[in-house]
Structure 1
Amino acid sequence: MSTARQRWLDAGIEVLAEEGGVDAVRIDRLAQRLGLSTGSFYHHFQGAAGFKKDLLAHLEQTQTSAFAGAIIDTQVSPDNGLKTSSDLIARLAAARAEIRSPRLEAALRAWALTDPDAARTQAAIDEARLETIRSVWRQVTDDEEEVRLGALLPYVIAIGASAIMPPLGDDDLHRLYERILTLVPDGPLDQPGEDESS
């Protein structure tokens, strides 16, 4: 990707987050912000519709790759759900500056309420992030319901933390994550079909 094209897309994301909505992402404002001409814009994008399409693709790529990169090296303990959860949360906390932008999260979700393309992008981002967490849990348990819930719980808390006003701070979010660790068994998770009385 050319440097100028990347700058246009990055500026689009910045304005979307800063201004809280897609209506602020206008060619003239981006050009002024970047010190580039509108000719540069049309050299890289097929009008406003082409920019929107490319901006959504860029958002999907950046929002999913940063998240996956943050937890790809989670230390999985197949016989210890609590240890795995602790490491997962520690990795998310360490990378929170790269993966957590409450204003961008809120702006993209608001855009998704009124635009089918943005809605598809947001759904793809959510699914990719959840699948990243599920891939960790699948190394801990074969129970797909445990995998599903184990991914949903921290993710829903993170989304909620971005949605409330004002957004929850990083320290409070981390404390919430530590609180949910009390729900995770210190040992192997129950496997499907196991008799709890045995």
Structure 2
Amino acid sequence: MTGNRLSKEELLEKATDILGENGPDALTIDRLCRSLNVTKGSFYHHFKGRDGFIKDLMDYWLEEFTLKIINISEEETNPEKSRDKMIMEALMMKSGPEKAIRAWGRDNPIVASYVERADTIRLDYLQEVFMPYENDPTRRKAIALTAYTTFLGSMFIYPELPRKEHMLMIEYVSRAFGVPIPTTGENNETTGRN
């Protein structure tokens, strides 16, 4: 090992990759350091033990896989363009970390609290997104839940679903609830999920 010091973000990014590719049991301090060719001292320079690392990793995941997508979509002032941007960003999200973190959350209370927080933030935001199309809060929540669970379900069942098929699913959900159909482009590339 070279003894290089990497930034905290570089360590968290690599940890997210390991987690997404191999699951939580594979995410050890030793494996993370070996994969980046750094010493454990580099790890402990940034993190206060395993629990501190898990908390920082979950903060990173929440920021990169939830808040960043919301912030990017909010750059648009037009509600439909904002929704479309959110959809495209979500479709480009890697599914491996999401699946691994949700599985990990069944056994780890720290991770479980972050999954619950992410779900709450995402669902609250989706309800805002659907506000221009539905005034009834109960119905708006149902639309948000349907859209979100469809998204998560497709991530688990078919992570390499071609974008065109994803857009078809989104179109059906939109039509079912009388929401305008997103215009995010129709190419046959697969999503960024893996």
Pick the TM interval, shorter chain: 0.7 to 0.9
**1:88 deviation in Å?**
5.9
Q: Distance in 1 between matches of 2:179 and 2:153?
A: 27
Match of 2:84 in 1: 90
Match of 2:66 in 1: 64
5+ long unaligned stretches in structure 1: 77-83, 188-198
Q: Distance in 2 between matches of 1:166 and 1:95?
A: 15
**Alpha-carbon spacing, 1:68–1:47, altered in 2? closer, same or farther (3 Å):** same
Deviations 1:170-189 (A, max 9, x none): 332221001222223379xx
1:146 aligns with 2:139: yes
Match of 2:9 in 1: 6
Deviations 1:16-53 (A, max 9, x none): 0011x111111111111112211111111111221112
Cα RMSD between the aligned structures? 2.4
Match of 2:18 in 1: 15
Q: Which has the higher contact order (CA 8 A, sep 6+)?
A: 1
Q: Tell me which structure has the larger Cα radius of gyration.
A: 1
Specify which of 150, 169, 174 is matched with residue 176 of structure 1: 169
Q: Distance in 2 between matches of 1:96 and 1:156?
A: 13
- Tell me the percent identity: 26
5+ long unaligned stretches in structure 2: 181-194
1:125 aligns with 2:118: yes
**1:142 deviation in Å?**
3.1
Match of 2:105 in 1: 112
Deviations 1:48-96 (A, max 9, x none): 22111211121122222122134322633xxxxxxx4xx5663244324
Q: Distance in 2 between matches of 1:149 and 1:51?
A: 36
**1:160 deviation in Å?**
0.3
For the 8 Å contact 1:70–1:91, the answer to whether it is kept is: yes
Q: Distance in 2 between matches of 1:119 and 1:9?
A: 18
For the 8 Å contact 1:67–1:129, the answer to whether it is kept is: no
Deviations 1:84-134 (A, max 9, x none): 4xx566324432454x22222211111111111111111111111111111
Q: Residue type of the partner of 2:58?
A: L
**Alpha-carbon spacing, 1:74–1:161, altered in 2? closer, same or farther (3 Å):** farther
**Alpha-carbon spacing, 1:61–1:161, altered in 2? closer, same or farther (3 Å):** same
Paired positions, count: 175
Report the TM-score when normalising by structure 2.
0.79
